[in-house]
Structures are given as C-alpha cells and as structure tokens.
C-alpha cells in the first residue's frame, strides 16, 4: 500500500486545476508523496509547465476526458460521465495503481464514484462522511456530514462504530467516547428518531457510548466521536464554518477600528494567525468517506493549494494505516453476531 | 398595555433568585421598567433588602410557594405545581396585571405555562421559540429553537409567517426575507421532510420566501428569517454558542502566549470586549415564544443580572409593540383563506 501514489481528481473544486496541481507539487515536495493528477491531460501538463515542473515518475498525469460539474447529479458518474476525472481517479485505486483518491469536486459524485469503484465494506449499509472538528483539546470526529440525508436507526449505530475506529486511529486512543448529537444530555431529550437511535446505540457492544450530547459539547472535547444524520451533520458543519468566519471577521473589523487597537493588532498578529489556522478547514485536510473498500478524501469545494496538499497528506496517512481493514473486519464481525 | 409591569419568574435559572432580583433592579433603574418579582415572597424581600432596595409600587413582590426545577417535566406546571413561580407569573399576564412574562427557568415548563395561561393564537398549531442571531449586518431571526422537536410540514410554514412578523418588528423591515435551513441552496437539496416543507413554503403568500439556505448563510445576513424544526434549531443554537465560546477561548489563550502578544492584548482589549459583547447571548435579551396570546420571553438558564435586565427590556418592547396582535390577525386570516 505504501508504494502506490495518491490519485488526485485535478479537475474538481472551485479553483481546479490550478490549485489542485499546486497542492500536488507541494505535497510531493513537503512530504515526498507521489501523486497521479487525473483530468484533462494536455491542460494538466501545461499547468505543470507553468509552475516550472514536468511530468515525472513521482507526478504522473492520467488523462480523463470528462469533468463532473458542481451541479451534476451524483449519479452522472455511474450512467453518464464514466470517463470523468473523479471516476477514473477512483478506478486507479480499484486497480491498485493508486493508494487513495482525493477530490475537491462535487461531493455527491465523489461518493458515488468511490462507492461504485471500491464497493461498500461488508456489513456496512451506508458510507458516511467524517471529519475532525477543532476543539480546545485534540479534536472531535463528527459524522455523518452529508452522505445520508434520510437515515434509518441502524445507519447511525454503524456510523458510531466506524467513527470510533476512525477516532482510535487519528487520536491514538483505545476506546474513544462516542456521543449522539441531541438537544439535551438526558435520555428523554431529542426527537422521536434520535431517541430510538439512543436506545439502539446503548445496545451496541462495539462502541464506548456515552449517550446524548449537546451541540456545545462538540467543541469542549469531552467526547471523541459525535454521531448524527447527514442532514443535521451538514448543517452543523456549515454553521461551524459560518460562526468561525463571522467571529474572525468581527475581530478584524474590531482591531482596525481605532489607532490604539491597530497598534495592538500588529503585536497580536502572530497569535491571531495561529488562531485562524486552527479554525481553518484547510488545515484539517478534508473529510474521509468511511465504509467503502478504499480511501477517499473529500475536500471543501473552495480548497486552495494548501488544503489540497494537506488532504493528500491525510489520504496518504490513511492509506498506510489499516483503517479500511479495521472497518471491514469490525463491521463484518458485527454482521456475523446479529 | 404600557402601564402594566413585567412579571419576572424570580425563581427560574441557575443563579436565581439573586441575579433575577439584581437584573430587575437594573431594568428598573436603566429603563424605568416596572417589575413584579414572582416567587418565594420572604426570600425575595430579603434579597431586595440585601441589595439596599425594598418593595415598592415599581418593584412588587408576588408570592408563589412552588418552584419548577430544571429537571421537572414541562407538564408539572399544568398538573402538579400550579402555584409555581412561572405559572403564577404567566397568570398575572392573563389577568392583565402584567404586560409580559420573563423566565430563565425550565424552558419546557415556561412554554407550557405560557401556553396554558395565554392560550394559542387562533390559527396557530404550535408555538415556536425565536431568537435573533448575531451577524455582520443587523442579525437573523432563527426559529424554532426547541419548542417542537417533531414537526409536521405545516408547522414550519407557520413558523415562517410568525418569524417574518417578528423580523419586521425587530429589524423594522417591510418584507423580511425568509429562508428554509437546508444543506444546499438548490430546491433538490435537503432531506425528504425539508423538501416537502420547501414546496409548501413556496405556496405561502404571507411570506417573502427565498428558498433553501445553508448554515453559513445564517451569519451572512442575506436573509432575515431562518426556519427549521425545533430539533435542528436547538442544535444550531448550541453549536453557535459552542463555536463562539471556543474561538473566544482560543483567542484568550493565544493572546497570553508570549510577551509581545500580551502587550498587544492590552491595546486590543476594548475591541475584544466589544466583540465578546456582540457574541454574548446575554446581550440579546432572550428568545421569544411566538404563537401564544401574550408576550413570553425565555432566557438562557445561565442568565446573570445583565441578561435578565436585557430580557426585561425586550419583553417591555414587545409588550408595547403589537406583535401578538399582528400574529393573531395574520394567522387568523390565513386560516380563513385555507
């Protein structure tokens, strides 16, 4: 697994292919990661040349004639654009020519391509998108962030198991604490669906379940994994981005409001930059699609070179870890028991 | 409506009755608002005396022998503790002896008391909790924040109408923009329930509906009203508080991390304080329960004197406005049409 390069959907995202190619070059330089740039071949080669690079063993170009747009339906990769960059990149992983796929393109299409090429892990009903949210301790894994907008009870229990494995790897923790996102910590709190999920999660032996948690708890760091359905999760993700952007913006307005605070702002700038970095999704290297037989890292559509570089690093780290095998084993074992 | 005092549930909240009484005194001094303190009479009088005040025409004490705790079921105010401070305070409004009720106690019980004493406005199926969220413009009304965890489609349409009336009053805007909280702006985005709500809201003539909005949009200020069910809304509220608290905390850590930034921190302190104030729920004076025949303001359980003072001011402003009448009229008119 370690030798194979990472396949990058170089046509996916708001700033593709420029920022994708730049990010790949940085990942190669900074971490020694080999990348296959998948997309419009001549354009990608020209892009490399513009940046003073050329195609090499460590930075290959793989031509894919089609591109999935942000407005395409996810199913387009299955029935329509089978030669699209995201589908071809995922296929490289399936064929063993790449160790993982990374894309900042259409999230639905990326999931569909990964699911179609990799297949679901045995015992998994639905894959889920997971990401580490910042907090004042090490971070919290939140899932599902949007793969499944209408969920059955069992899906969320499975998200808990997969999220727990993910957290055990990224936080190097033996028995991560798993909580269910609700509107109060008592068992009676929540809606009809969440209360049923709570009961089912209490019965799940594969997780260290702590019960209901509230929105505030995501950022306290008292739990390692927060489970919710994809509709709520996606709203939580975007609310978090929205609040952070607003606070940082207000802080900037505030610091330039008068001479004294302007002077102070110069002194606090390095601290401020560190803070912005901690809050910036680009630092977190994208989200991972859990439950498929391969590593798929999904980046924010607005990803620039730094975010792509970090996502390639994250994909590489997952590819050399045994996260896919662990999920397959545990989910298969659960299936045998039930 | 202007002459009557505001009834304060002086036993509700984590810091009651001390902070409640302090908040009432400040509201009286700062805004000339008359208050009836409802709760354990002797204790409230002692509290007033401790603060160098005594009962007067402008600061009356109304004895209520029972207290609803934070863990009591909401129904306790109906079947069990009928002489509890929140129930007695709401009853004062019903009898015309107070213009509005304010409580930082058990939210469910506060809603139940208001609903039971005031009654639902005609044409309203469910009352909703609404609050103004800060943004870089004037603010955004978000509802429902937790009154209804399991909603029917029609409830959310009604929340849109009531939220629109609320926004037109607080932002002094003729035709506030109403959005439905979802996971993408396109009509196809969302879960099964939210897509059905979207269609129903498009048909509603009483609102200026702009369609789906995303979590990020809440803080951009491009819409005036954001509608969601009470489960999602309560999560959004607490995620927002959690992120803001984390960012402010990280900022403080960051500013005290070295000598230079410490020096800078002294200079930026006033700006920083202004920012914290803008993010602080205590500034917003609580949430309002829309859809009942009276003004009920619900405060955060952790409210201290300043938050109580601001909530009393907000309740006063609503009592002198015609928000209840406007909602009653519009909801009644809708009912006649349908």
Give the integer Cα–Cα distance in Å for B210 and B177.
Answer: 6
CATH dotted code for A125-286: 3.40.718.10
Domain spans, chain A? 1-124+291-321, 125-286
ipTM, two decimals, is: 0.90
Give the integer Cα–Cα distance in Å for B240 and B284.
Answer: 14
Residue B320: which residues within 8 A CB-CB, separation 6 or more?
B1, B2, B99
With beta carbons less than 8 A apart as the criterion, state whether A319 and A338 touch: no
User: Which site among A142, A194, A268 would you substitute to test the B interface, given the most B Cβ atoms closer than 10 Å to its Cβ?
Assistant: A268
Task: Say if residue A259's pLDDT is above 80.
Answer: no
With beta carbons less than 8 A apart as the criterion, state whether A260 and B267 touch: yes
Any B CB within 8 A of A164 CB: no
With beta carbons less than 8 A apart as the criterion, state whether B195 and B229 touch: no
Question: Which residue is closest to B253 within chain A, CA to CA?
Answer: A271
pLDDT confidence band for A246 (50 / 70 / 90): confident
Give the integer Cα–Cα distance in Å for B139 and A147.
Answer: 31
With beta carbons less than 8 A apart as the criterion, state whether B291 and B127 touch: yes
- Report which of residues B286 and A258 the model is more confident about: B286
Residues 32-91, chain A: which have Cβ within 8 Å of B?
71
The tens digit of pLDDT for each residue in B1-14 reads 347 999 999 999 99
With beta carbons less than 8 A apart as the criterion, state whether A102 and A286 touch: yes
- Conformational region of residue B37, where left means phi above 0, alpha means psi within -120 to 50, and beta covers everything else: beta
Segments in chain B below pLDDT 70: 1-2, 260-261, 264, 268, 271-272, 275, 278-284, 338
With beta carbons less than 8 A apart as the criterion, state whether B13 and B20 touch: yes
Q: What is the pLDDT of residue A338?
A: 64
User: Which site among B217, B218, B246 would you substitute to test the A interface, given the most A Cβ atoms closer than 10 Å to its Cβ?
Assistant: B246
pLDDT confidence band for A281 (50 / 70 / 90): low
The tens digit of pLDDT for each residue in A191-234 reads 999 999 999 999 999 999 999 999 999 999 899 999 999 999 99
Q: Indicate the fold that domain B127-283 takes in CATH.
A: Isopropylmalate Dehydrogenase (3.40.718)
pTM of the model: 0.91
Q: What is the pLDDT of residue B280?
A: 66
Q: What angle do CA B246, B252, B254 make, to 5 degrees?
A: 100
Task: Say if residue A1's pLDDT is above 70.
Answer: no
According to the CATH classification, is domain A1-124+291-321 in 3.40.718.10? yes
The CATH class, in words, for B1-124+291-323+333-338 is: alpha beta
The reply to whether domains B1-124+291-323+333-338 and B127-283 share a CATH topology is: yes
> CB distance B219–A268 less than 8 Å?
no
Residues 212-231, chain A: which have Cβ within 8 Å of B?
214-220, 228-231
Residues 186-205, chain B: which have Cβ within 8 Å of A?
186, 190-192, 194
Mean pLDDT of all residues in chain A? Answer: 91
Residues from chain A that touch B268, judged by Cβ atoms under 8 A, are 254-255, 261, 264-265, 268
Q: HEC string of B13-25?
A: CCCCCHHHHHHHH
* Closest to B36 (Cα-Cα) out of B3, B68, B14, B13: B3
- Report which of residues A266 and B194 the model is more confident about: B194
Beta strands, E only, chain B: 6-9, 35-39, 59-63, 100-103, 128-133, 140-143, 177-181, 208-213, 225-227, 287-290, 295-298
């Amino acid at each position: 697994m370690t030798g194979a390069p990472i396949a990058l959907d170089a046509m996916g995202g708001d700033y593709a292919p420029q920022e994708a190619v730049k990010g790949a070059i940085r990942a190669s330089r900074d971490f020694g990661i080999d990348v296959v740039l998948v997309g419009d071949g001549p354009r990608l080669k020209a892009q490399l040349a513009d940046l003073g690079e050329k195609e090499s063993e460590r930075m290959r170009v793989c031509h894919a004639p089609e591109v999935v747009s942000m407005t395409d339906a996810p199913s387009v990769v299955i029935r329509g654009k089978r030669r699209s960059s995201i589908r071809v990149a995922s296929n490289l992983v399936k064929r063993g020519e790449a160790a993982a796929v990374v894309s900042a393109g259409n999230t639905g299409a990326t999931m569909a391509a990964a699911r179609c090429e990799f297949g679901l892990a045995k015992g998994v009903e639905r894959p889920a998108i997971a990401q580490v949210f910042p907090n004042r301790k090490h971070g919290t894994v939140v899932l599902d962030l949007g793969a499944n907008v209408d969920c059955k009870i069992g899906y969320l229990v499975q998200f808990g198991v997969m999220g727990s494995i993910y957290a055990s790897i990224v936080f190097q923790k033996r028995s991560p604490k798993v909580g269910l996102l609700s509107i109060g910590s008592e068992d009676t709190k929540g809606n009809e669906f969440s209360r049923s999920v709570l009961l089912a999660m209490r019965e799940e032996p594969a997780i260290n379940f702590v019960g209901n948690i509230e929105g505030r708890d995501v950022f306290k760091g008292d739990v390692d994994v927060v489970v919710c359905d994809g509709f709520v999760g996606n709203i939580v993700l975007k609310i978090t981005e929205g609040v952070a952007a607003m606070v940082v913006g207000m802080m900037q307005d505030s610091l330039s409001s008068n001479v004294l605070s302007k002077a102070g702002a110069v002194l606090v700038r390095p601290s401020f930059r560190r803070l912005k970095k901690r809050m910036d999704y680009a630092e977190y290297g994208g989200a991972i699609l859990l439950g498929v037989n391969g590593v798929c890292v999904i980046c924010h559509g607005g990803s620039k070179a730094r975010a792509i570089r970090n996502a390639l690093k994250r994909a590489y780290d997952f590819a050399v870890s045994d996260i896919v095998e662990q999920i397959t084993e545990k989910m298969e074992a659960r299936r045998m028991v039930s």
